Chains A and B, each alone.
Chain A
Amino acid sequence: MKWSLLAPGAALLGACAIQHPQTAEEFRQYVPGATFGKVQTFEVNRPFREVAKTFQAKAPECLNIAVRTVETSNTSSTNILTTYKPTVLVSEKKAELHVQHSLKGNVIVPGKPPEGGDYYVVADATPLDRNRTRIDIYGPSIGANTLVRAITGWATGENVGCPDMTKR
């Protein structure tokens, strides 16, 4: 049996493993200075309310999932269940999409993760004017490309599909 210290590909989690941001706001503060952290900011030509509605519709539909990763070889095996938890908070001035994940199986994550799991990606939408919205996405620089592309599609409205969370 092989015990994995960290989930494969979740590089930011590695950095967060000991210092777990306990809230989305702590995660926003943490990511810009993290070695494998990345903040992406862009504008979309879409009203804030539409972006918020899409986040509210797609996040629970697409991200309320679990991914089981199984690796076996002649000498070892790994079996990890990653459970994702999406949360969408909408106010007049901001829509927040929080994606947390927790790991179970033969994996060791030092430290104490927050309730619901470690923060994985946080996306904020804020209105610029009637038809334009600013998007800020906080997450790992590697290992979350598919999820970030999906969130970008939800924000622009050009592709409202779900990310294949087995793909990083």
Chain B
Amino acid sequence: MGTRTWLVLAALVGATGCSGLKTYPNEASKNVHVSTQVDPKVRAALHVHEVTGACTSRYQGTLALDRPALDVGIAAEQPTYLVVSFDTSSFMAGSRSTSVGTLIQPRAGYEYELAVSYRQDIYNVALREIDRRKGVSRELPRRPMTGC
């Protein structure tokens, strides 16, 4: 994993079709609620990486964020690196991909809201932790892998 929180890749021409992506099983209890608002030509996706220690990770899979709301199950009490990617492509500009990642260690009994938006080349990825029992929530700052 690079030293920077975000890696942006602009593949202007000649992007290959070999993505290597697989579908995230999404079998754990649904504790992360993702809301997505993106421009029509933008493809957003959530990539889940299990943090295996010493700041190394294992890719678990990807879910397309192609609907306004999606519930995702992330293993509680286990560090996970979530990456949201935004892909665009056009005939003139080629394909471009921007991604942002953050570490999360979901606490048992808590829920999380991941708000994802991409409008007119400006994007937002915000993560909140919600304690339903106390009716309180807090925004979680973005945590890069380098901070682990």
Which residues does A use to contact B, with CB under 8 Å? 61, 64-73, 146, 149-150, 153, 159-167
Contact = CB atoms under 8 A, between A and B. Distances in A.
B123 A162 contact: yes
B124 A65 contact: no
Interface in B102-128: 117-124
Interface of B: 2, 4-14, 86, 94, 96-98, 100, 117-124, 142
Given A160-B124, A161-B124, A166 B10 contact: yes
A7 to B, nearest CB: 11
A150 B123 CA distance: 9
A67 to B, nearest CB: 4
Which of B10, B11, B86 has most A Cβ within 10 Å?
A: B10
19 contacts: A64-B4, A64-B5, A65-B4, A66-B7, A67-B8, A67-B10, A68-B8, A68-B9, A70-B9, A70-B11, A146-B121, A149-B122, A150-B122, A162-B124, A164-B96, A164-B98, A165-B98, A166-B8, A166-B96
Majority secondary structure, A binding face: mixed
A161 B118 CA distance: 9
Nearest to B42: A164
Contacts of B13: 70-73
A163 B14 contact: no
Nearest to B9: A68
A153 B2 CA distance: 29
A156 to B, nearest CB: 13
Given A70-B12, A72-B14, A166-B8, 20 more contacts: A64-B5, A64-B6, A65-B4, A65-B5, A65-B6, A66-B8, A67-B9, A68-B10, A70-B14, A71-B94, A149-B120, A161-B122, A161-B124, A162-B122, A162-B124, A164-B96, A164-B121, A166-B96, A167-B96, A167-B121
